[in-house]
Each structure stands twice: as structure tokens, then as C-alpha cells.
């Protein structure tokens, strides 16, 4: 379904500008507030390996506070001690890379190959990270979680913080 004029106005308000490379709304609240955007992988011949972008200011602020509180280090420490969590996270990274290729426009795929960016798109995971056993950005982790209906890190965040109960404003 195409993005409506109202949804575009909300997205522009959230971002403070017109979005570049917007493909679709990947997730929105029950009230219809866009919160996760699906992005193009190539914008103006520049690689943009972030498939899902968190647009909600409310979720962004809540996750920024979680990150400031040291949650990334806690999650990385937990993954170092919990092989099941680590393996689930690595599988989420691979699914992200695979999904990015699947969702990519054929014209972008061909141009990425021409420009020599194929290896970048094969090796950069969630949030554009190369070291898949690390966590770069909880915002992008949570955006991916919402867009696909669940990830290992997203479930951890849901268990520890009331993100799902936030009232998303426009």
C-alpha cells in the first residue's frame, strides 16, 4: 500500500526533513503512527546498508536513554556468556543481510555491483556493523525487531524495558 500524504507529513515531522531513500513504512503503531521505515540500499550512488530506520521520536528518545545507561555493554557481556543468545544474534545478522538483498530493487543491486559495494552489503549487518557479535546501535536493532516481528536483541529490550507500552506521538 502506498504511503499516504498524512503518513509522509508525520514522517517529515519525525525526521525534521523529507526522507531520502524511503521505500515503505515497515512498522507503525496501532494508532497508525509510522515508527520504522524501510530504506533503499543505495541513495545517490552511496551505500546505505540500513534497511530499517527508526523514525519515531518517542522510541528514539527511550532507546537513547537505554543506550546512555550502558545497555549495549550489558548485552555484549551477556552474549559473551550465553552462547544461545550469541548464536541467535548471529542468525539475526545473517537474516538481516539476506533480507536486505531480497528487498533491494534490482536496479540498486546492479548498481551496487557496478560500484563495487557487493562485499560491503554481504558483510555489514544490523546498523552497518562488521563485527556481528557486537551491538552497534540499539535503535537499529529495535527497528529491525519491530519490522520483522522479533529478534534476539529486540526481545531482550522488550523484557527489560517498557518500549512496547510507549504511546507514540506524531
Averaged pLDDT for residues 107-132:
96
The CA-to-CA distance between both ends of the chain, in Å, stands at 20
Average pLDDT for the chain: 96
pTM: 0.95
Whether the per-residue pLDDT at 120 is higher than 90: the answer is yes
Query: Contact, 89 vs 66, CB < 8 A?
Result: no
User: Residues 115-130: what's their mean pLDDT?
Assistant: 95
What's the pLDDT at 1?
A: 73
What local confidence, expressed as pLDDT, does residue 68 receive? 97
pLDDT in tens, 76-100: 999 999 999 999 999 999 999 999 9
Overall average pLDDT of the 114-143 stretch: 95
pLDDT the model gives residue 94: 98
* Tens of pLDDT, residues 41-62: 999 999 998 999 999 999 999 9
Grid cell for residue 46: 552511496
Mean pLDDT, residues 157-163 taken together: 96
Q: How far apart are CA 35 and CA 45, in angstroms?
A: 26
Where are the chain's structural domains? 5-165
Q: CB under 8 Å to 6, separation ≥6 — which residues?
A: none
The torsion region of residue 164 among left (phi > 0), alpha (psi -120 to 50) and beta comes to: alpha
Total Cβ atoms within 10 A of residue 92: 21
Percent of the chain with pLDDT over 70: 100
Provide long-range contacts, Cβ within 8 A and 24+ apart, for 85-89: 85/152, 85/156, 86/133, 88/152, 89/132, 89/133, 89/135, 89/151, 89/152, 89/153
Q: What is the pLDDT of residue 136?
A: 87
Q: Give residue 2's pLDDT.
A: 87
Distance between CA 50 and CA 118 in Å, rounded? Answer: 14
Tens-digit pLDDT profile for residues 6-41 = 999 999 999 999 999 999 999 999 989 999 999 999
The conformational region for residue 82 under phi > 0 = left, psi -120 to 50 = alpha, else beta, is: beta
Amino acid at each position: 500500500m502506498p504511503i499516504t500524504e498524512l503518513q509522509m507529513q508525520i514522517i517529515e515531522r519525525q525526521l525534521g526533513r523529507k526522507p531520502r531513500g524511503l521505500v515503505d513504512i515497515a512498522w507503525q503503531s496501532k494508532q497508525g503512527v509510522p515508527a520504522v521505515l524501510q530504506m533503499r540500499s543505495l541513495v545517490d550512488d552511496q551505500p546505505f546498508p540500513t534497511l530499517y530506520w527508526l523514525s519515531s521520536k518517542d522510541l528514539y528518545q527511550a532507546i537513547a536513554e537505554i543506550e546512555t545507561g550502558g545497555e549495549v555493554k550489558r548485552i555484549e557481556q551477556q552474549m559473551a556468556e550465553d552462547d544461545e543468545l550469541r548464536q541467535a544474534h548471529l542468525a539475526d545478522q545473517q537474516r538481516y543481510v539476506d533480507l536486505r538483498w531480497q528487498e533491494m530493487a534490482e536496479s540498486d543491486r546492479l548498481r551496487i555491483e557496478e560500484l563495487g559495494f557487493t562485499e560491503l552489503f554481504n558483510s555489514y549487518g544490523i546498523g552497518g556493523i562488521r563485527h556481528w557479535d557486537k551491538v552497534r546501535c540499539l535503535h537499529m536493532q529495535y527497528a529491525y525487531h519491530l519490522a520483522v516481528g522479533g529478534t534476539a536483541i529486540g526481545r531482550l529490550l522488550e523484557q527489560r524495558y517498557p518500549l512496547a507500552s510507549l504511546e507514540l506521538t506524531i
